[in-house]
């Protein structure tokens, strides 16, 4: 039996890696004053049918539950967020700055960078219409990636504005009913043959291609770049009106993050969705909103690709999995004393391991090394003294068993 296509098993190394990614996400989100929240993994299918857009509805993992409800594993978080915010709107001061880390499910064709489950970091700001919030959000997205060791040479945030296209359609008297299909065609244009996009765009093809190729002009986008320039982050962004995003609910500024080499799928994407909360609450609550999500799959591929990021990740994985102390039981008569010490050390927060069954001393030291232990404590002939060995230098000292705990605590407070 194997995992289903597009689903991953996380062995300890994979979990260690994933935990480092999550820890970094949490750390940077907190630097920006975002607070963590979580929604349910299963929702009414209707929630996605209402506003996510045709593409994501086709990719739903959905079924009828035992209570005859139509339900779906969440493919994204934004509709849940809009539902939750509409229900609890009065309980919080605006703007809300919320982040969440969770697993999402899309029945996609499995390919490089796209699986049927993935983890996402979502960051959203609710209740702020000013462009200052868009600038803050893009800066946050950039800082997540900088924290992994990436520079402006490694990735770029392509920013765009759906209003640019709405103005464009209005200018060309395109009926509103066609707008969604046209936006979908523009969204896919970078990934599809030009002729296929041209067919979908019809008589607008030439002017749409011309707008994309010229980069598009928008005072709002210039202002956004200026805001990032003031923070020293302008080199991380590029205006590109070819980005419109596949999800249907976006209303204004949108952006997607790609590796500079153009090797991978999008690392992150998001934008403004000022009408979604009103639409999902039948107009009872109306609040501007914006956010983005970053997935773990492409991020992991890019970390492997860029040596600086790969080394930083290896270092943090090694640090996270290290133990402090390995207790070597050199004489089985001392096992009970050694275990009493193990318990006391663990109670005080040290990471401690020892051999569960009688084991050759040389093998125990090898295990201590493999586990990255800073110290080894040897329980043997020296009793009631214990030999304390510093693993990196090989230096040894004898410490009386009665003083050992105080000695180790003093040592660890000096080294931290
Ligand atoms: P999205 O662009 O659909 O946006 O997904 C965000 C990121 O999740 C993508 O850039 C990609 O890294 C990752 N991702 C998506 N699908 C897959 C997949 N099948 N396999 C691996 N990774 C994947 C949203 O989901 C929006 N709800 C983001 C948002 C939050 N907008 C506002 N707030």
Residue nearest to atom 14 of ligand 1 (CA): 295
- What are the residues whose beta carbons fall under 8 Å from the beta carbon of 86, sequence distance 6 or more? 277, 280, 281, 284, 285
Ligand 1 neighbour 298 (Cβ under 6 A): yes
Check if 115 has its Cβ closer than 6 Å to any atom of ligand 1: yes
Q: From the CA of 258, how far away is ligand 1's center (Å)?
A: 13
Nearest CA to ligand 1 atom 18: 114
> What DSSP letter does each residue of 244-275 carry, written as one string?
--SSTT--SEEEEEEETT--SS-SEEEEE-TT
Q: Which atom of ligand 1 is nearest to the CA of 268?
A: 10
Task: Confirm or reject: Cβ of 342 under 6 Å from ligand 1.
Answer: no
pLDDT at position 37 is: 98
The preferred substitution site among 270, 277, 290 for testing ligand 1, maximizing ligand atoms within 8 Å of CB, is 270
pLDDT at 14: 95
> What are the average pLDDT values for consecutive 10-residue runs of the chain, which has 416 residues?
95 95 98 98 93 81 97 97 95 96 94 94 98 98 98 97 94 92 90 92 93 86 97 97 90 97 96 95 94 98 97 92 96 97 96 98 98 97 96 96 94 69
pTM for the whole structure: 0.93
Query: Cα(273)–Cα(63) distance, rounded to whole angstroms?
Result: 28
> What does the alpha-carbon distance between residue 373 and residue 90 come to, in Å, rounded to a whole number?
51
Structure tokens at 84: 């939750």
Does residue 114 line the site of ligand 1, with CB under 6 A? yes
Cβ of 189 closer than 6 Å to ligand 1, yes or no, is no
Q: How remote is the CA of residue 256 from the centroid of ligand 1, in Å?
A: 10
Per-residue pLDDT at 414: 62
């Amino acid at each position: 039996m194997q995992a289903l296509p597009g689903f991953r098993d996380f062995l300890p190394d994979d979990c260690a890696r994933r935990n480092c990614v999550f820890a970094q996400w949490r750390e940077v989100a907190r630097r920006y004053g975002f607070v963590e929240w979580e929604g349910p993994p299963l929702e009414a299918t209707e929630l996605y049918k209402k506003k996510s857009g045709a593409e994501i509805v086709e990719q739903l993992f959905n079924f009828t539950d035992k209570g005859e409800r139509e339900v779906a594993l969440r493919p994204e978080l934004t509709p849940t967020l809009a539902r939750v915010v509409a229900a609890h709107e009065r309980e919080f001061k605006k703007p809300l700055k919320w982040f969440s880390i969770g697993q999402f499910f899309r029945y996609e064709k499995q390919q490089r960078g796209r699986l049927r489950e993935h983890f996402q970091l979502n960051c959203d700001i609710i209740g702020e219409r000013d462009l200052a919030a868009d600038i803050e959000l893009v800066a946050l997205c950039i800082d997540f990636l900088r924290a992994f060791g990436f520079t402006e040479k490694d990735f770029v945030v392509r920013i765009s504005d759906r209003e640019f296209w709405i103005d464009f359609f209005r200018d060309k008297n395109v009926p509103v009913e066609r707008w969604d299909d046209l936006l979908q065609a523009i969204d896919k244009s970078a990934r599809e043959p030009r002729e296929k996009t041209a067919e979908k765009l019809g008589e607008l093809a030439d002017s749409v291609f011309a707008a994309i190729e010229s980069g598009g002009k928008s005072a709002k986008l210039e202002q956004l770049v200026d805001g990032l320039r003031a923070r020293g982050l302008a080199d991380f962004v590029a205006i590109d009106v070819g980005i419109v995003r596949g999800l249907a609910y976006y209303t204004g500024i949108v952006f997607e993050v790609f590796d500079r080499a153009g090797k991978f799928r999008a690392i992150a994407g998001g934008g403004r969705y000022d009408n979604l909360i009103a639409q999902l609450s039948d107009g009872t609550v109306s609040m501007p909103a914006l956010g983005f999500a970053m997935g773990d799959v492409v991020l992991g591929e890019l970390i492997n690709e860029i040596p600086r990021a790969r080394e930083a990740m290896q270092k943090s994985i090694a640090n996270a999995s290290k133990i402090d102390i390995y207790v070597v039981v050199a004489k089985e008569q001392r096992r009970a004393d050694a275990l009493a010490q193990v318990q006391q050390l663990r109670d005080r927060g040290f990471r401690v391991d020892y051999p569960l069954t009688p084991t050759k001393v040389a093998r125990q030291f090898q295990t201590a090394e493999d586990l990255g232990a800073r110290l080894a404590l040897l329980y043997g002939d020296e009793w009631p003294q214990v030999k304390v060995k510093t693993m990196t230098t090989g230096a040894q000292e004898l410490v009386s068993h009665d003083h050992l705990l105080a000695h180790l605590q003093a040592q660890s407070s000096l080294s931290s």
